[in-house]
Structure 1
């Protein structure tokens, strides 16, 4: 069927290469028939399967190695947004996306299931059909269950509504983002209520001492930290404190204050509107950090975020 003017987001559970191909090749060819742009971010093995099965039609598909695509949810959302914008600018009326999430270690599973839920809101008005393959041979049953909770329908190969589906806000409230781990006392603790300059200087010195001098990831951490501290100064209350841990090539920062914190669980997933001058700090930090979590704890808002230097 040709695409609707708003998002269609399906999970596709498959247990063999034949199931993968038999479901997605007709999906791809139907999209090409309707002149829809087609992007497939899947495993290298599944790229090979699709190329072989599609034959000459594969030339019209944009293939992406999913291990390079699914680094951080915010950057993946930004990448999909750019691909969608580019496709529409080329004259396509709609886009079909095959997105096979790289869930990574078990501790990262909540991060990526939250991403799957957020897509339903972030791209709600996009002329896109996203099918997310889940390999039942490799993924634990808990992730397959979450697939039914984060996708309005399953696709195998016919679409069936998912009775377990939860609206994005409901799912995000029920599944917490894991906190970046810390160990031992912080190497830096600083009151930042008066401004961000002292924090920038102190963290810059810490990075130099830790061997991060001149590294782009160090610059990313400084920028993210400045955005989060600035948000705390503008919107928080009471004491604003920055704490920093440095261990095993990862620098983790925590900014806390006595403000009300973030009430919208989708902030940080949605790209900020172009006509807004505010609300960009958390989005920027999400783009830059390897992990970021916002929680309320004992009447305190805590933002903890981490950046790991390249090996």
Structure 2
């Protein structure tokens, strides 16, 4: 029998704890019966439900969901490393059930929507079967629509909605106010100088302040290099958090992995965008009526 290869990306929707268990317990048990490495990377409540339903089974590996899904780029790097080691050790199928964050769990969605789209390519070389359950009691409708567009399979069946355009990124709440800084077609050096002055009274530690300046320089460089003018840079801030955005009139990158994996994997992504995804609190990239925007949040 030939080894099973390729990423099987599946979602399922549930509206109660019993529904969650009816979807996930058979998935986990199937992996265990076949002797496949089987992982659970869920939020605390769902992990407790599965532990209670499965009983003591040392064959299941529980990964803390909050750590595994701290940020999309970290999740991709972690899963790629894990799958690579398991395949090298002889695994022909790997089962993972995981709770991907979204606004219903307190997380911004845009970069997780990009994650759900990007992993179809990022994990394609591995014999991974990933089940991403979503709770309809807490998940917003626009998130559920994006979930349907990014998963080739829904509850064991082919998904006819797969491949649609993701919803437009949503502005940060700070963007409801007037920007503290707005520049058009500035040089990266001018942006760094202006941002340093603009965040002088924001309560950021030295590392976070450095992240803001670095991010500002990177997103304006990206817009000037790859976008279409005019390129507009804006900055908002409250007492302890800064949001910056760079908008150009270009279409944005075609590669869904841009920023989510290092350049040696994508061969097209800028290293700077990948570093932003690994260091900043939140990075959003996508098109809206204004154009293509890269948005970064730093602080809390």
Scaled by the length of structure 1, what TM-score is found?
0.77
Report the counterpart of residue 245 of structure 1 in structure 2.
236
Please tell me the root mean square deviation across aligned C-alpha atoms, in Å.
3.5
Report the counterpart of residue 225 of structure 1 in structure 2.
216
Count of matched residue pairs:
296
Query: What CA distance in whole angstroms lies between the structure 2 residues aligned with 1:138 and 1:14?
Result: 10
Give the counterpart of 1:203 among 190, 195, 220: 195
Is residue 2:165 matched to residue 1:171?
yes
Q: Secondary structure at the match of 1:274?
A: helix
| Inter-CA distance 3–56: structure 2 relative to 1 (3 Å threshold) | farther
Equivalences for residues 133-144 of structure 1 within 5 A: 133-139=133-139, 144=144
Query: What CA distance in whole angstroms lies between the structure 2 residues aligned with 1:244 and 1:162?
Result: 40
Q: CA deviation at 1:125?
A: 3.2
Q: CA deviation at 1:5?
A: 0.5
Please tell me whether the aligned partners of residues 191 and 241 of structure 1 are also in contact (alpha carbons under 8 angstroms).
Answer: yes
Equivalences for residues 7-22 of structure 1 within 5 A: 7-22=7-22
Q: CA deviation at 1:33?
A: 4.0
| Inter-CA distance 98–278: structure 2 relative to 1 (3 Å threshold) | closer
Unaligned runs of 5+ in 2: none
Query: What CA distance in whole angstroms lies between the structure 1 residues aligned with 2:226 and 2:148?
Result: 37
Is residue 2:282 matched to residue 1:290?
yes
Is residue 2:141 matched to residue 1:150?
no
Report the counterpart of residue 84 of structure 1 in structure 2.
83
Equivalences for residues 43-122 of structure 1 within 5 A: 43-57=43-57, 59-105=58-104, 108=108, 112-122=112-122
Scaled by the length of structure 2, what TM-score is found?
0.79
CA deviation vs aligned residue, 1:145-193 (integer Å, no higher than 9, x gap): 55444322233xxx22233x222xx333xx2122334133322344664
Please tell me whether the aligned partners of residues 101 and 112 of structure 1 are also in contact (alpha carbons under 8 angstroms).
Answer: yes
Q: CA deviation at 1:271?
A: 1.7
Q: Secondary structure at the match of 2:252?
A: coil
Report the counterpart of residue 159 of structure 2 in structure 1.
162
| Inter-CA distance 56–148: structure 2 relative to 1 (3 Å threshold) | same
| Inter-CA distance 119–242: structure 2 relative to 1 (3 Å threshold) | same
CA deviation vs aligned residue, 1:217-267 (integer Å, no higher than 9, x gap): 333333322221222343345555532211253211122446x34141614
Q: CA deviation at 1:98?
A: 0.5
Query: What CA distance in whole angstroms lies between the structure 1 residues aligned with 2:286 and 2:146?
Result: 22
Please tell me whether the aligned partners of residues 286 and 292 of structure 1 are also in contact (alpha carbons under 8 angstroms).
Answer: no
Please tell me whether the aligned partners of residues 259 and 270 of structure 2 are also in contact (alpha carbons under 8 angstroms).
Answer: no
Query: What CA distance in whole angstroms lies between the structure 1 residues aligned with 2:48 and 2:133?
Result: 15
| Inter-CA distance 154–268: structure 2 relative to 1 (3 Å threshold) | same
CA deviation vs aligned residue, 1:61-107 (integer Å, no higher than 9, x gap): 33234344444434433333333334335543432110122322499
Query: What CA distance in whole angstroms lies between the structure 1 residues aligned with 2:131 and 2:86?
Result: 17
Q: CA deviation at 1:130?
A: 0.6
Is residue 2:2 matched to residue 1:37?
no
Query: What CA distance in whole angstroms lies between the structure 2 residues aligned with 1:136 and 1:24?
Result: 15
Report the counterpart of residue 264 of structure 1 in structure 2.
254
